[in-house]
Amino acid sequence: MAATITLSSGYKIPILGLGVWRMESKSIRELLLSAIKIGYRHFDCAADYQNEAEVGEALAEAFQTGLVKREDLFITSKLWNSDHGHVVEACKDSLKKLQLDYLDLYLIHFPIAIKHSGVGTTSSALDENGVLDIDTTISLETTWHAMEDLVSMGLVRSIGISNYDIFLTRDCLSYSKIKPAVNQIETHPYFQRDSLVKFCQKHGICVTAHTPLGGATSNTEWFGTVSCLDDPVIKALAQKYNKTVAQLVLRWGIQRNTVVIPKSSKNERIYENYQVFDFTISDQDMDKMKSIDRKYRTNQPAKFWGIDLYA
């Protein structure tokens, strides 16, 4: 059983999860059932991934066949940008597709509201100039209070934020009645973001690392980015510990006390990524890893949105 981190809400989140972003609909059933058999108990979903219904079918099968109980799993989903003004309906839509009564964690996917396109449609409307159609009438504070309502309604156990920087996270802490339990951000050896990670942890917000392997091949295809998995320092350390480069990088993330949710559509890779609990990276080697930070973001939605929100 993978280790867990206790959230500010009192619930435990498994420190290793499986992300389902870009998992093809037809392969989800087999991959998820296989992952559960390997030992995964934490699955990271989102309305925007457009595969919640398929995930829901796989989960229903896992429960019906007695492979696992609902209370044994930790399921996350996320509010898409176009649904900031429709938080309750969007959450209910995700629950329906996932065939669940409640979510363990619901996150605001990005700290930005955009033009509403109908609950659950998760499109990213562009204006006449091909730039993301941002809605300036809905504040993040309004969205957050609607997220808090989900907890009192019993639809969601823990709520959190995603892709928030220090400024926005601080802001959320100032107006929240229920503090964000998690901030899910891109972080990996080439994009360590120590200040943000430490700020969140200091204030009781668990950091989940999305893109924990630096995006590997998929982000190279989508965004033309370089992966840290080819780094000579990481390769040498992986050899030293007799582990793959991916295992070493995931272990590094775990030892930073961040939750890691690697994504893969290959069974052997999903199995490999789970084999990270039988070794420890020394303090000296953790310091070595610190030295390769490039402040290098690989997940760049600007490619689709015509605007660099991180500018």
Name the binding residues for substrate: 109
Q: Residue 277: how many CB atoms within 10 A of its CB?
A: 14
Residues 228 and 214: beta-carbon distance below 8 Å: yes
Residue type, 227: S
- Say whether 49 is catalytic: yes
Burial 151-182, CB ≥16 within 10 A → b, else e: beeebbbbbbbbbbbeebbebbeeebebbbbb
Q: Residue 311: how many CB atoms within 10 A of its CB?
A: 5
Sheet holding 18-19, edge to edge: 18-19, 42-44, 74-79, 103-108, 156-162, 182-186, 206-210, 259-260
Given 49, 106, 164, 274, the catalytic residue: 49
Maximum distance among all Cα pairs of the chain, rounded to whole angstroms: 54
Cα separation of 261 and 180, whole Å?
19
Cα separation of 56 and 96, whole Å?
8
Question: Catalytic residue positions?
Answer: 49
